[in-house]
Amino acid sequence: MARILIFGGHGKVALLLEPLLAAHGHTVTAVIRNPAHEADVAATGAQPLVADIESFDVAQLTNLISGNDVVVWSAGAGGGDPARTYAVDRDAAIRSMDAARAAGVDRYIMVSWIGSRADHGIAADASFFPYADAKWAADAHLAASDLDWTILAPGTLTLDAPTGRIELDPEGSGEVSRADVAAVIAAAIADDSTIGRTIRFGAGDEHIGHAIAG
């Protein structure tokens, strides 16, 4: 069983992921910014840890990550403020990768989005551009690192019930339920064939475990 640290521990995907991991016997620590969310996280079987990752430097993040086996980045600024989007989705994410390396925690799972690539096609004056730009910068930094990384890139997230099935490289927006994204993260942690791969997916008909197997 692994010790797993989740950044963005009160996000909708993370709150669905935490009980899956706890049910498999993993020790799960969920990093959250707001102390008022501690009870929500504890109810999933994870241990809440309050920390402002936006302000933490690499040394502070190294101390936070040390002792774990897996880092899951599921944090985000949530849009709206371009400066904060870059501060969290790009800068804090990159610092966490450097910190994971410094801490000797090699396994790193990034929760990204299906369009994250150098040619994402989002216009520079579009409101979505800071997110697209920040996520690509973070993904590129991770892919260039020597961490045992996996980038998971779902399409448009929904609140639909879990199906346990996905499709890789779907056409269109790749809508997929947050519950199935959580299941994909859990499956990727358990499957070392996902190391060094970017996995783009949406809802589909293939069992998650089969779909992501390398």
Domain boundaries, the chain: 3-212
- Comparing CA positions, the residue from 18, 49, 64, 39 lying closest to residue 189 is 18
The residues, ordered by sequence, that sit 6+ positions from 95 with a Cβ below 8 Å of its Cβ are: 56, 57, 58, 61
CA atoms within 13 A on the CB side of 154: 23
Per-residue model confidence as pLDDT tens digits over 95-154: 999 999 999 999 999 999 999 999 999 999 999 999 999 999 999 999 999 999 999 999
Q: 103-135 burial, b for 16+ CB within 10 Å, e for fewer?
A: bebbbbbbbbbbbbbeebebeeeeeeebbbbbb
pTM attached to this predicted model: 0.97
Terminal Cα-to-Cα distance of the chain (whole angstroms) = 22
- The Cα 7–Cα 3 span in angstroms is 13
Contact 62, 74 (CB under 8 A): no
- What is the reported pLDDT for 78? 84
Q: Measuring CA to CA, how many Å separate 153 from each of 8, 33, 58, 109? A: 16, 24, 25, 11
Residues, the chain: 214
- What is the reported pLDDT for 164? 98
- What is the reported pLDDT for 214? 77
- 81 backbone dihedrals φ, ψ, rounded to 5°: -115, 105
- Element containing residue 29 per DSSP (H, E): strand 27-32
Report the Cα 140 to chain-centroid distance in Å: 14
- What is the reported pLDDT for 52? 96
CATH superfamily for 3-212 is NAD(P)-binding Rossmann-like Domain (3.40.50.720)
Torsion of CA 144, 50, 182, 86, to 10 degrees: -40
| Residues in the chain, pLDDT under 50 | none
- What is the reported pLDDT for 46? 98
- Comparing CA positions, the residue from 94, 97, 92 lying closest to residue 33 is 92
- Comparing CA positions, the residue from 75, 6, 77, 76 lying closest to residue 44 is 6
